[in-house]
Amino acid sequence: MPPAGGSNRFGLDIEEVNRRWEQIGANQINVRDLMAKCLMLDEMNSADQTSILGLGCDDLTRAMQRSHSRLLLFDGSLDELDTLKNAVSDAGLKITKGGRVFTLSGIHNKAMPLQYLRDHYTRAGLKPPQIIAIGDGENDLDMLQAADIPCVIPRKNGFRLDLPDAPNPVFATEPAPSGWHYCAKIALERLGIAVK
């Protein structure tokens, strides 16, 4: 866990995200009304969180354990959302659309740990590993594009990411969890690892 109120190689910790969010509201009067349209899931009771995310108890607990981001709903127009995104961007934060909710986080992405891993192996004089990444949403796009074997699973609502620049992606036909299994099996087979 990074020190409170700071950042690490993978982004801002939650204390710093919260500090910057509060600072936006304190410094930008014109944005306060837009911030009031944000319903933070971590400020809701578990019944409301379950209703919004559609997760059972254990999955909900895991989904809400966030060290670098907050989940939110936005009750405003697309123009208002764009204005809010610009304001948070000026503070080094971003708002990303996920499946059912938005994510507020520092300006980082899931590809950063992949590059860190490759750099770590290279510094140690080792050949970097082939990296498999599995994702289903726009917040996974950078990670999938940085992976050696990107794997896309569709969401239960039928949405599926497109990876036009990926050389040879794996596309599952079913959502999680069977889609995860399919992608992992195909990706490992591409690496020459037999899977039953």
Domain spans of the chain? 7-106, 112-190
Does the domain at 7-106 match CATH 3.40.50.1370? Answer given as no
Digits of tens for pLDDT over the chain (196 positions)?
333 445 556 678 899 999 999 999 888 888 999 999 999 999 999 999 999 998 888 889 988 999 889 999 999 999 999 999 999 999 999 998 887 899 999 988 888 889 999 999 999 999 999 999 999 988 888 899 999 999 999 988 888 888 888 878 999 999 988 999 999 999 999 999 988 7
**Chain centre to alpha carbon of residue 135:** 9
**What radius of gyration do the chain's Cα atoms show?**
19
Query: Tokens 């710093």 sit at which residue?
Result: 16
pTM above 0.75, yes or no: no
What residues contact residue 44 under an 8 Å CB cut-off, 6+ apart? 52
